[in-house]
Structure 1
Amino acid sequence: MTAPEPSEGPLDIQRLWTIVGTIIAPTSMITALLYYFGWHHVYWFFYYFGVNSTTLGYGTTDYLIRSLDVLYVPLTVTAGAALLAFWGHDLLRRRLTAGAVIRLLRRALPVMAGVGALLTLGGFWSVLARTFFLRRILVAAPLSLAFGVLLLAYTLHLWRTLPTPPPDEGTPELEGDSEGDGTEPPAPPAPPAPTPGPPRSAAAALAEWGVVLVLVGLGLFWAANDYAAAVGETRARQFAAELPTYPYAIVYSADSLSLTAPGVRETRCKDPKAAYRFRYDGLKLMLQSGNQYVLVPERWSRVDGVAVLLPRSPSVRLEFAPPLAGSGASKRC
């Protein structure tokens, strides 16, 4: 049994990361990804309420903060899975000297390659068509692509690091004459040992790892993108369900705002000298972004609910009341 050739995988990855780091600054790339996922979260949150998020004046800091809600779970799960994979690989590497483990691994490699090929095919198929994964299971299609490519690459890595199998040592015994002369037949000549192929070039190894990392990165990016949309819509549903527990936002205005949202009541003040002559009850403040308020009716629904974008100005004043006080807690104009 010949010793396995040293694997160049870790060195190849280290070289690849060095090349990528010289082209793309890691800090800039991470900031861009956080900004993108935060934007996606905000877009789908307000899309649930029928608001175009581009009109809200969100800044970079707002999107970066929102991205934490999106990436907390994916990063935790990915880090935990990667740690388990590293520990499992280290345990397997330590046991590769045992003959029984090597024989078992040789039988398992075709199965691993088949599963990886099926997962990769399912991921690529979902890119081109709307498959069962896309319709039924969240992030199943992108994770199928990422894990399938990883499994294929790892299977190939194990196959390259396995020692060369020895030639068959069992030879049939030659039958002597019935009397036996006490001499042993000459042993057949041993077959020549297999010679390893030429080593791969550094460029080929870097190109292979580069393609693997690109496909895995695209799959994880796709999964995080879908997860961001799901989190944004989930947070919107949660906000709509908890509207009765939020404080009331009573709007006072110098001029009529003509708000006709369901459940919103306009009251005209009788005092002609009042600075704010109109009061609007039945609203809840969603957020204040940029230079405007976003309000929704207390009885908002997806059937007839609307969202109100109210610019901040000296002619508009907001007053808040606890949810148990009722929408008409303040009667002052």
Structure 2
Amino acid sequence: MAVVLAVGPPVTLITALLFYFGWARADAQARMMGLDVSLFGYTGQDYILRSVTSLFLPLIGLLVVAMVSVSLERALHRRAHDGRGSAAIARGALFVITAGGLGAAVLAVALVTLPGNTRIVGPYVLASLVWIVAAAVRLRRHALGVLTGEQQRVVDTTLVIALITMLLFWGTTDFAQIVGRGLAANYERSVPTLPHASVYSEGRLSIDVPTVTETNVGTADAPLYRYSGLRLLVVSGGRYFFLHDGWTLNDGTVVVLPDNTSVRVEFGN
């Protein structure tokens, strides 16, 4: 049970961050392309998988800070408990509290006033400072022999965790939006590398894109229309999403077709 209580909350928080990051990234990317993210029909698993590679390093950094902080705090707790350097530990903890608190205050003001692109890691740093200051407060109390009730410890821990969680979601939002917009912009350069797609339909699809060519390859009795000049973006939510040759964010159309028997799609290099 102790293992579950120790591991459960961090795993739950990480999973929530991964899901939220995946959604926020996909939403920003879709909006840059003139779409709504709901059109793609992504599942929760899709969002999590799309977020792992981008959010891996920030999460690893936060976990390293937490592990180092917890290990150091436990070691100093043991020294203070044994009466070895309690006064020095209390003074050191006070210095960390003062420096960390001032640093967090300055950083918080900077995050509110700076443009979004320049604060990509700021909320994560602020969350780390809150964690370190909270650990230093606990350590100073222990070194000075200040006893706190169980209810007070629960309240303090809940407030710290809530603040850190809000900061992590703040940082995740900014980070995800920047990554999503960057991915959308990259499509302008990567359109020529996407798979060619030829769409066949018995009825005219009326794709009003200058670079997409409509050709009737059937007969008068059995018409069959072929549309070329398309590039496959993704297949998701029961739909095909195509870009076209020469597609740009400012002057481009995303062609969306159903993934059913009404159309046939051929792909090539």
Q: Specify the code of the residue in structure 2 equivalent to 1:246.
A: L
Aligned 1:5-154 pairs, distance under 5 A: 33-90=17-74, 92=76, 99=85, 103=88, 105=89, 107-122=91-106, 125=109, 130-132=112-114, 134=116, 136-140=118-122, 142-154=123-135
Aligned-partner Cα distance in 2 for 1:47–1:262: 23
Q: Counterparts of 1:37 and 1:132 in 2: how far apart (Å)?
A: 21
Deviations 1:100-156 (A, max 9, x none): x954x55544442233223443465478xx41264522131x224422322321221
TM-score by length of 1: 0.67
TM-score, length of structure 2 as denominator length: 0.80
Q: Which runs of 5+ in 1 are unaligned?
A: 1-13, 164-195, 323-333
* Residue aligned with 1:81, SS: helix
Cα 1:294–1:279 change in 2 (3 A) is same
Aligned length: 263
Of residues 256, 259, 266, the one that matches 2:204 is 256
Residue in structure 1 matched with residue 247 of structure 2 by the alignment: 300
| Contact 1:292 1:312 survives alignment (8 Å) | yes
Structure 2 residue 137 is matched with structure 1 residue 156? yes
Measured in 2, the distance between the counterparts of 1:223 and 1:209 equals 21
Residue identity opposite 1:162 in structure 2: A
Q: Structure 2: how far apart are the matches of 1:32 and 1:94? A: 34
Q: Return 5+ residue gaps in structure 2 as ranges.
A: none
Q: Could you tell me how far apart the structure 1 residues matched to 2:221 and 2:57 are? A: 55
Q: Could you tell me the percent identity over the aligned residues?
A: 31
What SS is found at the alignment partner of 2:266? Answer: strand
1:249-328 equivalences in 2 (<5 Å): 249-269=197-217, 271-276=219-224, 278-322=225-269
- 8 Å CA contact retained: 1:37, 1:228: yes
Distance 1:107 1:288, change over 3 A: same
Structure with higher Rg: it is: 1
Aligned to 1:200: 148
Q: Distance in 2 between matches of 1:34 and 1:320?
A: 32
Provide the C-alpha distance between the structure 2 equivalents of 1:57 and 1:236, rounded to a whole number of angstroms.
18
Whose helix proportion is higher, 1 or 2? 2
CA RMSD of aligned residues (A): 3.3
